[in-house]
């Protein structure tokens, strides 16, 4: 198993969106609207839906057919973000044992599929937790971030995340790290895990091309 081959998108959904778009497959088989790097769009083969307020439960797996720029005719606002079109999906209930998914993470499908499944009683309990849980609206989340010092929090998170998952790599240059922190501060749906993975993927491709 090559867990460094991050070929899977882990994306967060709240209970309302789970009921509307995940529980039953959408007719056009199109999901999401993410600011994913072009390099990463070429790597992604699978996607997993992570349900918020469920004690980190994955609820569904998708096999990606392709990614496309979000199209207005499919109900998106056409802002240079990517959606994926899937070939097939399957219910998959298990605990995501890594850090909380703010917007999106990247993982390996074999790593994900090897995780133990939850029994029906535990799945139902976590679904109910998500149903009654409260998720801040986007404007309120932005306000809360301003009140709690998001820049400092992001700096600490970046440092801790690097130690936990990326210590075998070189820490991004100060200016790159500063840009990542600013991106997270400006957009509540951004996630440092994803930004680091996209950075290292671009770095690896650049080094490969130079050799």
Q: What is the rounded average pLDDT of the residues 89-102? A: 95
Going by pLDDT thresholds of 50, 70 and 90, the confidence category of residue 210 is confident
Rounded Cα–Cα distance for residues 149 and 144 (Å): 9
**Beta-sheet strand order (sheet of 30-34):** 30-34, 82-95, 57-69, 46-51, 8-13, 104-107
> Of 60-69, 141-150, 153-162, 198-207, where does mean pLDDT reach its minimum?
141-150
Report yes or no: 42 and 9 within 8 Å, Cβ to Cβ.
no
The per-residue pLDDT for 151 is 55
Q: What is the rounded average pLDDT of the residues 16-22? A: 95
The per-residue pLDDT for 80 is 74
The per-residue pLDDT for 78 is 57
pLDDT at 137 over 80: no
| Reported pTM | 0.81
Sign for the CA dihedral angle at 151, 156, 161, 167 comes to: positive
């Amino acid at each position: 198993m090559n867990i460094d081959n991050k070929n899977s998108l882990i994306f967060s959904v709240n209970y309302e969106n789970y009921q509307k778009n995940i529980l039953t497959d959408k007719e056009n088989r199109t999901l999401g609207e993410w600011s994913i790097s072009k390099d990463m769009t070429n790597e992604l083969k699978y996607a997993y839906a992570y349900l918020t307020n469920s004690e980190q439960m994955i609820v569904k797996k998708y096999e990606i057919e392709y990614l496309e720029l979000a199209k207005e005719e499919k109900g998106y606002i056409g802002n240079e973000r990517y959606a994926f079109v899937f070939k097939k999906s399957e219910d998959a209930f298990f605990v995501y044992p890594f850090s909380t998914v703010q917007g999106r993470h990247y993982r390996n499908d074999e790593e994900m599929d090897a995780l133990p499944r939850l029994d029906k009683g535990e799945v139902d309990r976590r679904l109910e937790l998500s149903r009654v849980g409260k998720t801040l609206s986007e404007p309120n989340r932005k306000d809360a971030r301003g009140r709690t010092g998001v820049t400092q929090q992001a700096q600490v998170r970046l440092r801790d995340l690097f130690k936990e998952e990326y210590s075998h790599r070189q820490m991004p240059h100060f200016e790159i790290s500063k840009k990542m922190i600013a991106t997270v501060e400006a957009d509540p749906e951004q996630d440092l895990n994803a930004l680091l993975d996209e950075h290292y993927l671009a770095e690896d491709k650049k080094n490969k091309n130079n050799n």
